Chain A
Amino acid sequence: MLEIKNLHARVAGKEILKGIDLTIQDGEIHAIMGTNGAGKSTLSNVIVGNPVYEVTEGSITFNGQDLLAMKTEERAHAGIFMSFQTPIEIPGVSMTNFMRAAVNARRQAQGKEPLKSTDFLKLMREKRQLVGIDQKLMNRSVNEGFSGGEKKRNEIFQMAMLEPSFCILDETDSGLDVDALRIVAEGFNKLRTAETSAMIITHYQRLLDYIKPHFVHVLIDGKIVKTEGPELAQKIENEGFDWIKAELS
């Protein structure tokens, strides 16, 4: 369970989040929608621990642990995974070495032995087939020379490798055509267990057609101003945000 209380955060001295309260139970999927600059990406970056963002007030706990006191990699070991909006290219670091380092660090945190090379490669192969990502990409540097769709699929592949219990999909649908979107969403659904919870940040209904949220929250100017069921997303798709703003004022 992820529990956010009265969260305030700023970036480059500017306050972006102005008091967020949000609880996500195991197995729940929450969609966060909102206009550009409302603070959606800030919220996800604060949860995973991007050092660029500064938390000024409030708390985040994850399964009872104080997330804000943990380093980024410790949060990852605890089971938090973010599918990045724009995954960075890391020239010179091969996908294989990168994944090996990540998987073994997680295992070490869990008190397990590092995977033997053959076992690791077997795991890579299994998960690759599961999300349908080309072997060729695995021989390249991390995200280097990947198309937009390949990058997003690579995020889902990494999620498969790391088996997180809480996932953030940060505008995973941006820059994807319909087919790529479906493949990524199906990959996510395949990987999800009954306990996996997720936060899905999106501008559009279409991703939510594939991944059904339990709750839809609307974030405006650093605050959650509306929370309803999945029908809210459809209404926003049709009517935009203006009516919500009108309700507020």
Chain B
Amino acid sequence: MKAEQQYIELYREAAETITQRSCPVMNAERDAAFGVFQQQGFPTQKVERYKYTDVAAAFAPNYGLSLGQLDIQPSRYIYSFKDSPINLAPYYNKIADGADSITALNTALAHEGLLIYVPRNEHPEAPIQIDNWLRGTAATMMHRRTLILLEEGSEATIVMNDKADHPSPHFLTTQVMEIVCKANVHLDIYEIEETTPLCSRFSNVYIQEGRDSVVKHNVITLQGGLSRNLCDVYLQGENAEVTLGGCAIGSRQQHIDNNTLIQHQVPRCQSNELYKYVLDDQAVGAFAGKILVEKDAQKTTSQETNANLCASSEARMYTQPMLEIYADDVKCNHGSTVGVLDQTALFYMLQRGIPEAEARTLLKNAFMGQVIDQIQYRPLRDRLYVKVEKRFRGEHEKCEDCRLCK
């Protein structure tokens, strides 16, 4: 319990300050969550869902705790928890898996929360963009907490960017995001990570979907150090639909671990998953995706695909697509591949005189394009095509499109 100990001590020292700066709805959960963390500690690699990431090692450095205030630009849909127009108690820490150690730690240490609230039948015209910018000179950790609540019949597009100054000190972020979609909601949410090799991110996203809701969640990892993205989806209303997408580009010592669980709890829901990885240098990728179809969830359809390219001899990939099915009237498919670039296509391109490096870039780009193609929001899709291509060409260090730099 070495790595845990400093967090236990930190909590004992800082709990009072955190509580003062926080709000009652968060404080109400705090001690119990700390209790869970204290009892379990960090998940070891024997815990099935943490098999591929050494959590304790990531938390071992001595991080300063960031207690800064959120800089929220006034908006009709974005609030801090303190200014919430609705009672958050029925939602906060209710959808999240309280038994997950990272979630518990986040619940204990997060002092502020971000609320995105879209009232009934409203459709914000512009996408809601949230930028999380890591800057500073000392090793720091942030515990982010987000609640997204879409009332019946509403729609939203949300883009979340994780960025960091280059170069950066060690940064550690935990994020717990609870997303509640009531009946007939349409939500597109994108998370784009472009940080530095010294940044670690532990993100736990929990999505609850009501009847006829349609949710698309994409997580795009372009740059970072350790990226761990857990996403759990609970399909609780009939005809709900979810699409999870992931694009992971790893180089150097990047470690990218996506872990998903989609629970079909009621009949006639649909789930789709497409995660793709391209790994270079010594990068390590992991994907574990479980589709759980409960006993009464008849007429479920589910399609899960994980495709991976290892582009260097030292890159490693772990993949684990799982089906756990207790209903009989279902159509579930999953497929997983780890491989090399299509050698026949490569040869065809070489025969046309395209240099090998260029041919490889074109093919990698095409491989990832399949995930980007799914992005509904056109300006973002176009921007990502460019970003992905630049990433493969190694031209990505600067972020030309960011308003904070200007």
Task: Report chain A residues within 8 Å CB of B89.
Answer: none
CA distance in complex: A135, B297 (Å): 47
Inter-chain contact B367/A92, CB cutoff 8 Å: yes
A72 to B350 alpha-carbon distance, docked (Å): 6
Q: Flag whether B363 is at the interface (Cβ < 8 A).
A: yes
A77, A105, A109 pick with most chain B CB within 10 angstroms = A105
Among B66-74, B94-102, B322-330, B353-361, the one that faces the other chain is B353-361
Q: Given A73-B355, A105-B354, A88–B348 Cβ distance below 8 Å?
A: yes
At the interface with chain B, which of A96-104, A178-186, A192-200, A241-249?
A96-104
> Which residues of the other chain, A, contact B351 by a CB distance below 8 angstroms?
48-49, 72-73, 75-76, 81-82, 84
The residue of chain B having its C-beta at the shortest distance from the C-beta of A99 within the complex is B352
Residues of A with C-beta under 8 A to B18: none
- Cα–Cα, bound, A98→B369 (Å): 15
- The distance from the CB of A86 to the nearest CB of chain B, in whole angstroms, is 9
Q: Tell me the complex Cα distance, A71–B347, Å.
A: 11
Q: Say yes or no: A162 contacts B353, CB within 8 Å.
A: yes
Residue of B345, B351, B353, B354 contacting most chain A CB atoms (<10 Å)? B353
Q: In the complex, which residues of chain B have a beta carbon less than 8 angstroms from the beta carbon of A123?
A: none
B353 and A88 contact, CB distance less than 8 A: no
Measured in the bound complex, the distance between the Cα atoms of B345 and A72 in whole Å is 13
> In the complex, which residue of chain B has the Cβ closest to the Cβ of A141?
B366
Residues in A with CB closer than 8 Å to B344 are: 88
**Known contacts A51-B347, A84-B348: A92-B366 contact under CB 8 Å:** yes
Please, how many angstroms separate the alpha-carbon atoms of A77 and B352 in the complex?
8
Q: Are B347 and A102 in contact (CB under 8 A)?
A: no
Q: Are B355 and A90 in contact (CB under 8 A)?
A: no
A227 in the interface (beta carbon within 8 A): no
A87 in the interface (beta carbon within 8 A): yes
The verdict on B370 contacting chain A, using a C-beta distance below 8 Å, is: yes
Interface bits A54-78 vs B (CB < 8 Å: 1, else 0) = 0000000000000000011101110
* Cβ–Cβ < 8 Å partners of A76 in chain B: 350-353
Distance A87 CA – B365 CA, assembled complex (angstroms): 20
Is A90 in contact with B348, judged by CB distance below 8 angstroms? yes
Question: Is A158 among interface residues, defined by CB-CB distance under 8 A?
Answer: yes
Q: Is there a chain A Cβ closer than 8 Å to B192's Cβ?
A: no
Among A51, A82, A87, A98, the residue within 8 A (CB) of B362 is A98
Interface residue A106 (Cβ < 8 Å from any Cβ of B): yes
Q: Once the chains are docked, how many angstroms separate the CA of A131 from the CA of B122?
A: 53
Give Cα distance in the complex from A82 to B344, angstroms. 14
A11 within 8 A of partner (CB):
no
B362 touching A102 by the CB < 8 A rule?
no
Residues of A near B352 (CB, < 8 A) are 76, 98, 102, 158, 162
In the complex with contacts A88-B344, A90-B363, A98-B350 CB distance below 8 A: no
Q: Are A92 and B353 in contact, with the CB atoms below 8 A?
A: no
Q: Please state if B358 and A101 are interface contacts (CB–CB under 8 Å).
A: yes
Cβ of B349 within 8 Å of any chain A Cβ, yes or no, is: yes
- What distance in Å separates the Cβ of B346 from its nearest Cβ neighbour in chain A? 9
Docked-complex contact B366 and A87, CB < 8 angstroms: no
Q: Once bound together, how far apart are the Cα atoms of A42 and B6, in whole Å?
A: 66
Cα separation A109 to B358 with both chains bound (whole Å)? 14
Contacts of B349 in A (CB 8 A): 90, 98, 101-102
Residue in A closest to B344 when the chains form the complex, CB atoms: A88
Contact code string A36-62 (vs B, CB < 8 Å = 1, else 0): 000000000000111110000000000
Residues on the B chain within 8 Å of A77, using CB: 353
B370 touches A92 (CB 8 A): yes
A73 and B354 contact, CB distance less than 8 A: yes
> B386 CB to closest chain A CB, in angstroms?
13
State whether A101 and B354 are in contact (beta carbons under 8 Å apart), knowing that A87-B348, A92-B370 are contacts in the complex. Answer: yes
Q: A4 vs B367: C-alpha distance in the bound complex, in angstroms? A: 38
Binary contact readout B350-390 vs A (1 if CB under 8 angstroms, 0 otherwise): 11111110110011011101100000000000000000000
> Is there contact, CB below 8 Å, between A90 and B370?
no
Question: B347 and A101: CB pair below 8 A?
Answer: no
Q: Give the CA-CA distance A16 to B344 in the complex, in Å.
A: 20
Select from chain B the residue with minimum beta-carbon distance to A93. Answer: B366
Are the C-beta atoms of A71 and B356 separated by less than 8 Å? yes
For B352, B355, B363, B366, which residue has the most chain A Cβ atoms within 10 angstroms? B352
Question: Which residues of chain B are within 8 angstroms of A91 by Cβ–Cβ distance?
Answer: 366, 370
Given A50-B347, A72-B347, A102 contacting B365 (CB threshold 8 A):
no
How far is the CB of A210 from the nearest CB of chain B, in Å? Answer: 24
Judge whether B354 and A93 touch: CB under 8 Å. Answer: no
Asked if A105 and B358 make an inter-chain contact with CB atoms under 8 angstroms apart, the answer reads yes
Task: Give the distance in Å from the alpha carbon of A49 to the alpha carbon of B355 in the complex.
Answer: 14
A71 → B minimal CB distance (Å):
7
A71 CA to B357 CA in the complex, in Å?
A: 13
CB distance from A238 to the nearest CB of B (A): 35
Which of B350, B353, B363 contacts A93 (CB under 8 A)? Answer: B363
Q: What 1/0 flags go to B331-352 for Cβ under 8 Å of A?
A: 0000000000011110111111
Q: Can you spell out 11 A-B residue pairs with CB atoms less than 8 angstroms apart?
A: A49-B351, A50-B347, A73-B351, A84-B351, A87-B348, A88-B348, A92-B370, A101-B362, A102-B354, A105-B354, A109-B353
Q: When A and B form their complex, which 10 residue pairs have the shortest distance between CB atoms, in order from nearest?
A: A92-B366, A76-B353, A72-B350, A102-B352, A92-B369, A93-B366, A73-B350, A101-B354, A90-B345, A106-B353
Contact residues of B with A, CB < 8 Å? 342-345, 347-356, 358-359, 362-363, 365-367, 369-370
Known contacts A51-B347, A90-B342, A92-B367; 8 additional CB pairs below 8 A are A51-B343, A52-B347, A73-B356, A77-B353, A82-B351, A101-B358, A102-B353, A106-B353
